[in-house]
Amino acid sequence: MADAAHPPVSFETHPSKYKHWKLDISGPVAAVTMKVDEDAPMWPGAYELKLNSYDLSVDIELYDLSQRLRFEHPEVRAVVLTGGYDRIFCAGANIRMLAQASHAFKVNFCKFTNETRCGIEADSRSGNATWIAALNGTASGGGYELAMACEQIYLIDDGNSAVSLPEVPLLGVLPGTGGLTRLTDKRKVRRDMADVFCTKAEGFKARDAVKYHFVDGSFPRSKWAASIEARAQAAVAKNPMPADAAPIVLEPLEPLLTDTHIEYDHVNVRLDHAARIAHVTIESPESEPSATSRTWALRCFRELDDALLRLRVNNLDIGLLVFKCTGDREAVIAHDAALDADTWFNRQVRAYQSRVLQRLDNMAKSIFALVEPGSAFAGSLFEIALAADRSYMLHDDDEINKVVVTSVSNGRFPMHSGITRLEARYPGEPATPAKILALLEAIDAPSCEELGLVTMTPDEIDWDDEIRIAIEERASLSPDALTGMEQNLRFGGPESMDNKIYGRLTAWQNWIFQRPNAVGERGALKMFGAPERAVYDYRRT
């Protein structure tokens, strides 16, 4: 069931369908131009996307664009992100859209935007393409947050353009896509200057922006194009294209969609709206591994990624995801092993799988994994069981029900904290992950229970009743309390910039988005652009 405030959202697109972005590739440099069509919002006629402001449709295109750069254009070593209008880079998230959106939509919009920006940062860190923000005009709010996701930021020095985060003084909310965290943790801006910046609606122009490290440099208009090109070529020189890279075209997924099913080649989602449950079944590979877009390791995880996004935005009534993995676990292990070699293709697929599993970690829905005879919970698919809030494994009389933990759980798929899900599972037992990885064999239910690899192992007599009761109990609890509980428990371990964005900044923004000072009838978000000032309740909470 979609949010009543909007129709269902599709996350599939293609460069031929882009309305807001232009991609020009010249050898190793890609120019990515944000030129938002103000008359083409997510829902026609709902609002105008003025001043290069963005909504979810703009971000869906950016996510698709970044994916295609990774897989379809390995020759690109530097990405120059700029604006398509004169004297404006991006005014940030569209305020009219935010003001009329439901609370759930605002939160999910910010989460998806954050995930896309974290992916851009991962590209620069991993040696893919270096992203460079060429701010050809003012970058405010989410526009400056998008720039901060890039490795380098340059601002035109024209006496007028500035960078700013005006959400607190103008809208009564926070920079919701990582801005506060990136200022201190990534840009290394002093806390006091960050405080000044975030309460100064007009922001800083070139001189002060450079002085206080909000940007890496500035150039006058007369030298702008040449200076940005020089920075791009310098990035290319430091980051040559891998010799074994070859383009991989990402074909459409085209799932079969009904009121009760989302069906792909390898992933099937059955929606039980009455019970508020989605049953997600992932099937093991049926063909040999290959270095193509159709290989299971890439195709299956693309399907899972799309399914998670549709569940998150279009199915707010679904509170519990029940995962099963079926088929040949040895086939899963073989496809994982095919990605072991250090090739360009393998690195891209491994990184993508890791991002999808991190999106699973970040779902505001409960996650159960059910391990039954014939399951394919092994290798990369066992990471789903490790990500689950609870996992149930049938203790069958014949003891054929087993899981396999392989070396992929030893660092291939780090969580946002930087540690593995296996390490996160045993915070007080640092020697246990190595003990499990050393087994190198299928592990039956009694051993899994002894090792703590699963939550419970009901026998064949109790299985149906215990699973039914566990699911019914979970679905009956407060969704707000569950979301808070799950996010706190899932994000244990070391703190990272990503963890702060998702676990701290997003949580505060979630709260602020519900407060009258922001979204009440006289709140700052609702009153933006009106002649009257917002009315605040000045009592601190």
Beta strand 137-140 with 320-326 is unpaired
Give the per-residue pLDDT at 283.
98
What are the CA-CA distances from residue 426 to residues 102, 352, 429, 451 (Å)?
A: 38, 25, 5, 10
Residues linked to residue 334 through DSSP beta bridges, in sequence order = none
Question: Per CATH, which fold does 15-238 belong to?
Answer: 2-enoyl-CoA Hydratase; Chain A, domain 1 (3.90.226)
Residues linked to residue 27 through DSSP beta bridges, in sequence order = none
The per-residue pLDDT for range 167-180, each reduced to its tens digit, is 999 999 999 889 99
Neighbours of 222 (CB within 10 A): 8
Whose structure tokens read 């707010």? 316
One-letter amino acid identity for 160? N
Give the per-residue pLDDT at 504.
83
Q: Name the class of domain 256-485.
A: alpha beta
Give the per-residue pLDDT at 508.
85
What are the CA-CA distances from residue 96 to residues 15, 49, 93, 145 (Å)?
A: 27, 9, 9, 19
What is the distance between the alpha carbons of residues 58 and 115, in angstroms, rounded to a whole number?
Answer: 14
Structure tokens at 103: 């609370």
Report H helices in 315-410: 329-338, 344-361, 382-387
Angle at 237 between CA 234 and CA 239, to 5 degrees: 110
Beta strand 137-140 with 87-90 is parallel
What is the distance between the alpha carbons of residues 512 and 104, in angstroms, rounded to a whole number?
Answer: 13
404: Cα within 13 Å, side-chain hemisphere: 23
**R_g of the chain computed on alpha carbons:** 24
Are the CB atoms for 116 and 62 separated by under 8 Å? Answer: yes
Domain ranges of the chain: 15-238, 256-485
Q: In sequence order, what are the residues at sequence separation of 6 or more whose Cβ sits closer than 8 angstroms to the Cβ of residue 533? A: 527
Give the per-residue pLDDT at 1.
46
Are the CB atoms for 399 and 444 separated by under 8 Å? Answer: yes
Report H helices in 155-249: 179-181, 191-198, 206-211, 224-238
Task: Return the biggest CA–CA distance within the chain.
Answer: 78
Using DSSP's 3-state secondary structure scheme, residue 66 falls into: helix
Beta strand 402-403 with 443-444 is antiparallel
Segments in the chain below pLDDT 50: 1
Are the CB atoms for 376 and 354 separated by under 8 Å? Answer: no
What is the distance between the alpha carbons of residues 303 and 453, in angstroms, rounded to a whole number?
Answer: 26
Using DSSP's 3-state secondary structure scheme, residue 230 falls into: helix
Q: What is the mean pLDDT of the chain?
A: 95
Q: Which of these, 114, 92, 208, lies nearest to 155 by C-alpha position?
A: 208
Structure tokens at 462: 């109790």
Segment (H or E) for 119: helix 103-126
The per-residue pLDDT for range 431-472, each reduced to its tens digit, is 999 999 999 899 999 999 999 999 999 999 999 999 999 999
Q: Report phi then psi at 513, rounded to 5.
A: -65, -15
Cα-Cα-Cα-Cα dihedral sign, residues 119, 124, 128, 132 = positive
Q: Report phi then psi at 235, rounded to 5.
A: -65, -40
Point out the residues that are catalytic. 93, 142, 145, 167
Are the CB atoms for 441 and 448 separated by under 8 Å? Answer: no
Neighbours of 383 (CB within 10 A): 25
Residues linked to residue 34 through DSSP beta bridges, in sequence order = 21, 83
Entry pTM? 0.95
What is the distance between the alpha carbons of residues 331 and 329, in angstroms, rounded to a whole number?
Answer: 5
What is the distance between the alpha carbons of residues 378 and 385, in angstroms, rounded to a whole number?
Answer: 9
Are the CB atoms for 200 and 164 separated by under 8 Å? Answer: yes
Say yes or no: do domains 15-238 and 256-485 share a fold: yes
Using DSSP's 3-state secondary structure scheme, residue 213 falls into: coil
Neighbours of 245 (CB within 10 A): 15
Q: Report phi then psi at 528, rounded to 5.
A: -60, 130
Neighbours of 258 (CB within 10 A): 8
Are the CB atoms for 485 and 503 separated by under 8 Å? Answer: no
What is the distance between the alpha carbons of residues 86 and 379, in angstroms, rounded to a whole number?
Answer: 51
What is the distance between the alpha carbons of residues 264 and 259, in angstroms, rounded to a whole number?
Answer: 15
